[in-house]
Structure 1
Amino acid sequence: MSDGDESSPHNVSQIGTLVEIVDFETLEDGLLGITVYGKQRIRVKRVWSEKDGLRVGEIEHLPNWQTAEFVEDTKHVSQQLRHVYSQFPQVKNLYEQCFFDDATWVSQRWLELLPINQTKFDLLVSQESCSATLDFLSEAIDSKPLARD
């Protein structure tokens, strides 16, 4: 993913999302707040740092995960996300609409929230569908119940 001679950051996931910036603002703490809309799944082929520290990369487009239905034994993954969103409405409010009946959407939201190491994250998001992620989430939630509604 990185070139040998270039100053290459190694903490960049191999899979990501091409986004459109839809809004930005200066936050109270002086940081820049950016609102983005995810458009296309991508693979980072190469990444390097410019002399000024700006990261630059070469990407290839990947097919987006398609909408998927839950099977009966994975519906709790969606129920638990609803529970998390009820406890943390500021997270839920990041989305204009929630699609709790779409296994792909729910899987992607969990991947945004959970502290998964980069290797596992890359393995899950590099798959052609959300199936492996949903299996991982289902097992993780079954082994450590968060809450039952």
Structure 2
Amino acid sequence: MAEMLPLLFQKRHVLPSGRMQIYISTVDQVPTLKTALTSKSGLGICMYSDKKEAQHLFHIGTRVTIDDFDQDPNTRLLKLTVSGQDNFKIQSIEQTTDGVFWGKTTPLPRWKAITINNEQRLLATRLKKMFEKFPDLDELYKRKDFDNLSWLCQRWLEILPLPAVDKQKLLNKPTCLNTYDYLMSMIKTSH
């Protein structure tokens, strides 16, 4: 069933069960924030690319809830902490007179939890090291699910600077197994 969601466009992506801090402009994105805070549906975060040769809005996004927000005293930016709830596919986008972008969205099924096996444990080990190296990232996650391959793959898709088009293709798959194969091929070619 289609649902209308207020949308924000980001270069980074948050996925279900993920948490992220994003920055929005107090100049032109506050109406979207106000709409999201009063909406029962939450807010949609969508990826975009602003490369001159390939400007593009991507069709898969994540409905998020806003956990916290704070104004940066040195800039005209608001820092939001958001939690990913579920993915959606954008059917159409319209902009209202107050500048809010609304997406007509349909939900995508969540990847089912898959208990990792010994071969897949490498992804968990490396993610634990990443969390140790970046305490701000570690602090975002009160609950970590290192034994769940779907959770691991989604965290890696959030963290790694992969091309957005690749992330979108992987998110369009019914399970995390294609993402696992993609991540493992990256690890094997880096050695």
Give the shorter-chain TM-score range.
0.7 to 0.9
4+ residue segments displaced more than 4 Å: 48-53
| Paired position in structure 2 for 1:94 | 140
**Secondary structure of the residue that 1:12 maps to in structure 2?**
strand
Q: Could you list the per-position Cα deviations for residues 36-74 of structure 1 after superposition, in whole angstroms to 9, with x for gaps in the alignment?
A: 222222111223445665432111011111111223322
SS in 2 for 1:101: coil
Inter-CA distance 106–29: structure 2 relative to 1 (3 Å threshold): farther
Query: How far apart are 1:35 and its partner, in Å?
Result: 1.6
Q: Could you list the runs of 5+ residues in structure 1 that have no partner in the other structure? A: 1-8
Report 1:42-61 matches (<5 A).
42-50=88-96, 53-61=99-107
Q: 1:27 aligns with which of 49, 72, 86?
A: 72
Q: Please give the per-residue CA displacement for 1:18-42, whole angstroms capped at 9, x wherever unaligned.
A: 1111221112433211122222221
Contact 1:15–1:122 (CA under 8 A) maintained in structure 2: yes
Are the structure 2 counterparts of residues 93 and 11 from structure 1 closer, same or farther at C-alpha, using a change threshold of 3 Å? Answer: farther
Of 103-112 and 72-81, more deviation after overlay is shown by: 72-81
* 2:58 aligned residue: 13
TM-score between the two structures when normalised by the length of structure 1: 0.81
Q: Which runs of no fewer than 5 residues in structure 2 stay unpaired?
A: 1-47, 49-54
The alignment partner of 2:125 has SS state of helix
Partner of 1:32, secondary structure, is: strand
Q: Partner amino acid for 2:71?
A: T
| More strand, by proportion | 2
> How large is the Cα RMSD of the aligned pairs?
1.9
The answer to which of 126-135 and 36-45 deviates more is 36-45
Correspondence 1:112-123 to 2 at 5 A? 112-123=158-169
Query: For 1:76 and 1:113, how far apart are their aligned partners in 2?
Result: 16
1:111 and 2:157 correspond = yes
Identify which of 123, 129, 135 aligns with 2:175: 129
Query: SS where residue 143 of structure 2 aligns?
Result: coil
**Residue 114 (structure 1) shift:** 0.9
- 2-structure distance, mates of 1:51, 1:115: 34
1:66-96 alpha-carbon deviations (Å, 9 max, x no partner): 1112233222111111111111111111111
| Same amino acid, percent of matched pairs | 28
Cα separation, 2, equivalents of 1:60 and 1:119: 20
